[in-house]
Amino acid sequence: MGIFEAILLTVITAATPLVLAAVGELVTERSGVLNLGVEGMMIMGAACAFIATQVTGSPYVGILAGIASGALFSLLFGFLTLTLVANQVATGLALTILGLGVSGMIGEAYVGQSGIKLPQIVFPVLSDIPFLGPLLFKQDLIFYLSIAVVVGVNWFLFRSRAGLKLRSVGDSHASAHALGINVIRMRYLAVMFGGACAGLAGAQLSLVYTPQWVENMSAGRGWIALALVVFASWRPWRVVAGGYLFGAVSISQLHAQAFGIGIPSQFLSALPYLATIAVLILISHNRRTTLINTPASLGKPFVPDR
């Protein structure tokens, strides 16, 4: 039981940044914007969170810095694609490349430094419950924020008037504009929210998962988060299931090596990405369901009538 509990704890830690980044991208795509720059925003969040924590000595300031850096970085994407109507795919890829380069530059002086780990929040009595206590009531702040974000996004999209407007913008921006909805403003807010979530996911990497700064430490998690949105059919709770599934696959390589399983380490390291490809292939076979759930205006530029 102790070994199983330890494995689940590492799965939760590995899955949390995937869930956060994927839910943020889900909201962005629900508004009709395809932002492929999740990886760049994540790595910027990781770098800024670590640097702010080292400078101030407070990991909570680091969390705020990670969120702010992701949101500000997403504004650049928003300006290029929503205001200047640049191609969303090309701009997202450029944003990722830019994020990887800038994070490496600003974080160069902090490579090798010991970080300050975000402390756990312990709920008295509840944390003493066998098995479930450590899993649910003895976690860090970002884990609880990830659950709160999923619950809030699910309520916002399907229970609020503003969420209905957001989905209408993603399904038909022309019709939404005709009804008086400010499409550009709605998409800007969605893009910023997605960037903030990606920045928070990055902060989790450098403050919880591995409390240090290593160049390119996001290691492709932003691309997995993009695949998770499609895997979840743009539904928040399915993102959680997919995130923990991919988290389990990612962490399995470490436990397989610890148990001495005779599988090449290179193959184990490739498992998360092989799983991503396999899931996308399975999803592609059910095109009808995918087309029904996909926002109809996803990736399409919008220029309001003047």
> Does any domain span residue 299?
no
> Does any domain span residue 303?
no
Is residue 258 predicted with pLDDT exceeding 70?
Answer: no
Q: Which residue do the tokens 């019709």 mark?
A: 175
> Does any domain span residue 133?
yes
Q: Which residues pair with 138 in a beta bridge?
A: 122
Structure tokens at 213: 């700064």
- pTM, two decimals, is 0.92
CB-based burial label for 292 (10 Å; 0-12, 13-18, 19+): exposed
Expressed as residue numbers, the domain containing 198 is 2-293
> Does any domain span residue 11?
yes
> Does any domain span residue 275?
yes
Read off the pLDDT band of 267 (50, 70, 90).
confident
> Does any domain span residue 304?
no
> What's the CATH code of the domain at 73?
1.10.3470
- Output the DSSP codes for 105-120: HHTGGGTTPPP-PPPE
Is residue 306 predicted with pLDDT exceeding 60?
Answer: no
> Does any domain span residue 302?
no
pLDDT in tens, 51-99: 999 999 999 999 999 999 999 999 999 999 999 999 999 999 999 999 9
Read off the pLDDT band of 291 (50, 70, 90).
low
> Does any domain span residue 71?
yes
Mean residue pLDDT across the chain: 89
Distance CA 63, CA 69 (A): 10
Read off the pLDDT band of 277 (50, 70, 90).
confident
Number of domains within the chain: 1
Over range 278-290, report the average pLDDT: 70
Contacts of 218 (CB under 8 A, 6+ apart): 39, 42, 43, 46, 202, 205
Is residue 158 predicted with pLDDT exceeding 80?
Answer: yes
